Homo-oligomer: A and B are copies of this chain.
Amino acid sequence: MQIAIVLFDRFTALDAVGPYQVLCGIPGAETVFVAEQAGPVVDNEDSLALVARRTFAEVPRPDIVVVPGGPGQNDRMTDDTLLNWLRAVDATSTWTTSVCTGSLLLAAAGLLRGRRATTHWLALDTLAEYGATPTSERVVFDGKYVTAAGVSSGIDMGLTLVGAIAGDEHAMAIQLLTEYDPQPPYDAGSPAKAPAAVVEKLRDASRFLPS
């Protein structure tokens, strides 16, 4: 089983590494970071660089595709190299997945038309513009399409997918090995829970608005 995780300039690191850390525990899985060109790809903070070991052309038939999001997604919405690769691998994938605004790239490739999907809470309206039916659930399954909400939700998505693929007991072993027993110091992780002032401040500053 081959798992391809897409990288592009100004991706958000945890979008990619969260699901990576749990999916790589699937027995027999080979995980590969893939980009238009092989080599280091820099994140949206300009501080972290993850190495893409393969080019899109070198990974033609992954079983699982994971598309992270991040501010760099905006620049990729008409990137034919990426979008054509997504369409091509989706034709044979077992699971086509995304985290955060990665779902906007799946949508731009035409893969989410008429499907229930999610994305970062600040980008839900944009998802609708591309023909998907946005939902604010944290992890959304619609057939083989699995989309996760913002950034950290990719861990929940990955673990749910491990359960579907390798069984509940294996998924629980990965949860225990990664000690995923979250205890956030605040309860502000969704717009429904965070103080209104915090929500509005982020809406105003949103980096996801089309430029």
Mark A residues whose CB is within 8 Å of B.
12-14, 17-18, 20-21, 24, 30-33, 40, 45, 47-51, 53, 100, 120-121, 138-139, 149-153, 155-156, 159-160, 163, 168-169, 171-173, 175-186, 188-191, 193-195, 197-199, 201-202
**Chain B residues with CB under 8 A of A185:** 139, 156, 159-160, 163, 171
Residues of B within 8 A of A172 (CB): 186, 188, 194-195, 198
Q: How many copies does the complex hold?
A: 2
What is the distance, in angstroms, from A15's C-beta to the closest C-beta of chain B? 9
Q: What residues of B have a CB within 8 angstroms of the CB of A45 in the complex?
A: 24, 31
Query: Can you give 22 A-B contacts (C-beta < 8 A)?
Result: A17-B48, A30-B47, A33-B48, A40-B51, A100-B179, A120-B179, A138-B181, A149-B179, A150-B179, A151-B180, A152-B155, A153-B181, A156-B184, A168-B186, A172-B188, A173-B188, A175-B189, A175-B194, A176-B189, A179-B189, A181-B189, A182-B184
- CA gap between A189 and B175 in the complex, in Å: 5
Of all A-B residue pairs in the complex, the 6 with the closest CB atoms, nearest first, are A150-B179, A181-B189, A172-B188, A182-B182, A49-B51, A14-B21
**A159 CA / B188 CA spacing, docked (Å):** 11
* CB nearest neighbor in B for A33: B48
Q: A184 is contacted by which of B14, B47, B169, B180 (Cβ under 8 Å)?
A: B180
